């Protein structure tokens, strides 16, 4: 039975500790910048109407060449989403730079791990029938680009008034080493596929075609040491590797939410642990500007938030706690990934997703000669059913048929023992007239063949638009 007295007592103690601990402060380094000899970076000169033309692999800047403070470089390697050793200048616009993500991790947010299951049509017993989809993303933090712009301004000393621009590296030409990734779970690389977005601030979709037994093997691997691989970026004739680290214990996405509301001076701010693990808070830290100098400033803050726990944050405004001109703010915290009950909860939720309903295929075909005999330009079929969605939400899907494309297949989830869906037909004739059935038609067939008689009924005057 839930103990309200124990909960509220612990909650009040947390707030008191949180408020009193902010009285203690730590004031840390002001980084020094090394004189930079511009070997790999072209001097920034004022340029008008010069459009970026893409990253130049011969002009790469390592922030270690301009920053003397080792603890700052360590922070960048741990809290920022970019790799501080690979900042690439544009080929034509010398004030434009591209960042390289330091790694891609399995995405986890308020909805849980971005791990989905799709049951496929199984041609014969024993063949792989499940697609396991994983979303991977670089662990970007708010303020990353502000911080990077500051380092480039201080290290490169552009002419006054020059705007330095930061862009995500384009994903054109990126390729995943599927062979090494597949070897971690003893799969042929032909059963893995990757979809990369337009640039590297977007997630990467990794798909695996598996049997039910192989799904269990992959999930066990993700709960343990995880899977590892590399994404190879090709820039002209140069290749840059980005690690892929895929597991439940090391993940991207927000760990705590609500800090952004406090920074925006909103009232009634709540901090929520959106992970599956307990979080220990140590400090509230910021990189801030004091004139033109960067400072790291931390306020001690002690507290422990259980998985998915939500607490009120009753502390003064950001300016009173951390000062002015904040570039990046974060909680210095540790995550207790040794929690056995937490790992069991992850396994339970993930495997519940794997146990989704089986599927079947709906095959829809329009007899080819109706297009000529009825003077049709296209036939459109709207399908409405819960069977279109893996989670059972009612969804509408549209199929379009023409002379060249008269057959389509649709994956349906069998949430119930009897398949049911509704459909209606929409027609467009060669002369532009349009007709749509007014009423949805019910069906439980997995094969639909639409012929002349059925379409003639749709072409009646009462269905004209």
* DSSP H or E run through 12: helix 4-21
Q: Which residue has the tokens 């270690």?
A: 64
Residue 29 vs residue 266, higher pLDDT: 266
Asked whether residue 36 carries a pLDDT value surpassing 70, the answer given is no
Rounded mean pLDDT of 21-32? 60
Asked whether residue 161 carries a pLDDT value surpassing 90, the answer given is no
368 contact partners, CB below 8 Å, separation of at least 6? 403, 406
Asked whether residue 464 carries a pLDDT value surpassing 50, the answer given is yes
Please report the pLDDT score of residue 295 as a whole number: 87
Please report the pLDDT score of residue 323 as a whole number: 92
Quote the CA–CA distance of 231 and 23 in Å, as a whole number. 45
338 contact partners, CB below 8 Å, separation of at least 6? none
Domain boundaries, the chain: 24-347, 359-463
Contact 118, 390 (CB under 8 A): yes
* DSSP H or E run through 78: helix 70-79
Tokens representing 122?
């199984």
Tokens representing 362?
């709906």
CB neighbour class for 287 (10 Å; exposed up to 12, middle 13-18, buried from 19): buried
Asked whether residue 122 carries a pLDDT value surpassing 80, the answer given is no
- pLDDT tens digits along 395-433: 899 999 999 899 998 878 787 878 899 999 999 999 989
pLDDT band at 56 (very low <50, low <70, confident <90, very high): very high
| Alpha-carbon distance values, 295 to 64, 141, 289, 459 (Å) | 18, 18, 6, 73
Q: DSSP secondary-structure letter at 338?
A: T
Contact 68, 31 (CB under 8 A): yes
Please report the pLDDT score of residue 305 as a whole number: 95
DSSP, residue by residue, 24-77: -EEE-----BPPPP-SSSPPP---SS-----EEEEEEE-GGGTB--HHHHHHHH
Q: Specify the CATH class of 359-463 in words.
A: mainly beta
* Alpha helices by DSSP H, 317-403: 318-322, 340-354, 370-373
Please report the pLDDT score of residue 92 as a whole number: 92
| Alpha-carbon distance values, 28 to 22, 31, 76, 143, 285 (Å) | 16, 10, 15, 19, 10
Please report the pLDDT score of residue 88 as a whole number: 93
CB neighbour class for 118 (10 Å; exposed up to 12, middle 13-18, buried from 19): middle
Rounded mean pLDDT of 183-212? 84
Other C-beta atoms closer than 10 Å to the C-beta of 375 total: 12
Asked whether residue 132 carries a pLDDT value surpassing 70, the answer given is yes
pLDDT band at 97 (very low <50, low <70, confident <90, very high): very high
Asked whether residue 251 carries a pLDDT value surpassing 90, the answer given is yes
Please report the pLDDT score of residue 195 as a whole number: 84
* DSSP H or E run through 194: strand 192-195
Q: What are phi and psi of 248, to 5 degrees?
A: -80, -20
Q: What are phi and psi of 332, to 5 degrees?
A: -80, 115
Tokens representing 444?
């439980």
Quote the percentage of the chain above a pLDDT of 90.
39
Asked whether residue 378 carries a pLDDT value surpassing 90, the answer given is yes
- pLDDT tens digits along 321-373: 999 999 999 999 999 999 999 999 998 888 776 665 677 889 999 999 999 99
Adjacent-strand bridge partners of 390: none
234 contact partners, CB below 8 Å, separation of at least 6? 173, 174, 175
Adjacent-strand bridge partners of 26: 298
Please report the pLDDT score of residue 6 as a whole number: 47
């Amino acid at each position: 039975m839930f103990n309200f007295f124990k909960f509220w007592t612990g909650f009040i103690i947390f707030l008191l500790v949180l408020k009193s601990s902010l009285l203690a402060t730590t004031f840390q380094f002001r980084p020094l910048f090394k004189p930079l000899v511009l070997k790999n970076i072209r001097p920034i000169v004022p340029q008008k109407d010069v459009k970026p033309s893409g990253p130049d692999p011969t002009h790469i800047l390592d922030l270690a060449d301009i920053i003397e403070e080792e603890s700052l470089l360590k922070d960048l390697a741990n809290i920022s989403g970019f790799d501080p050793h690979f900042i690439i200048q544009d080929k034509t616009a010398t004030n434009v730079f591209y960042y390289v993500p330091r790694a891609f991790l399995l995405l986890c947010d308020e909805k849980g791990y971005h791990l989905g299951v799709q049951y496929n049509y199984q041609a014969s017993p024993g063949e792989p029938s499940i697609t396991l989809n994983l979303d991977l993303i670089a662990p970007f933090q708010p303020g990353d680009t502000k911080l990077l712009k500051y380092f480039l301004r201080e290290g490169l000393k552009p002419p006054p008034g020059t705007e330095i621009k930061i862009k995500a590296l384009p994903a054109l030409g990126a390729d995943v080493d599927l062979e090494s990734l597949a070897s971690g779970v003893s799969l042929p690389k032909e059963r893995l596929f990757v979809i990369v977005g337009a640039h590297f601030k977007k997630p990467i979709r990794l798909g695996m075609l598996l049997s039910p037994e192989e799904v269990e093997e992959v999930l066990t691997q993700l709960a343990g040491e995880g899977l590892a691989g590399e994404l190879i970026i090709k820039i002209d004739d140069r290749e840059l590797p980005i690690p892929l680290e895929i597991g439940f214990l090391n993940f991207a996405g927000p760990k705590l939410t609500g800090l952004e509301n406090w920074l925006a001076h909103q009232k009634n701010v709540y901090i929520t642990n959106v992970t599956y693990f307990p979080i220990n808070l140590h400090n509230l830290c910021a990189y801030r500007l004091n004139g033109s100098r960067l400072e790291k400033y931390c306020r001690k803050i002690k507290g422990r938030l259980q998985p998915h726990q939500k607490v009120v944050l009753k502390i003064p405004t950001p300016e009173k706690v951390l000062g002015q001109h904040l570039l990046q703010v974060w909680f210095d915290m540790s995550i207790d990934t040794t929690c056995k009950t937490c790992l069991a909860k992850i396994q339970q939720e993930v495997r519940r997703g794997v146990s989704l309903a089986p599927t079947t295929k709906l095959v829809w075909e329009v007899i080819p000669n109706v297009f000529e005999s009825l003077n049709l330009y296209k036939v459109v079929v709207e399908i409405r059913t819960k069977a279109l969605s893996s989670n059972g939400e009612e969804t509408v899907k549209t199929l379009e048929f023409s002379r060249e494309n008269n057959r389509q297949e649709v994956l349906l989830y069998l949430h119930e023992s009897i398949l049911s869906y509704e459909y209606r037909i929409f027609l467009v004739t060669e002369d532009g007239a349009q007709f749509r059935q007014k009423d949805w038609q019910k069906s439980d067939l997995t094969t639909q063949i639409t012929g002349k008689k059925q379409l003639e009924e749709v072409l009646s005057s009462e269905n004209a638009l």
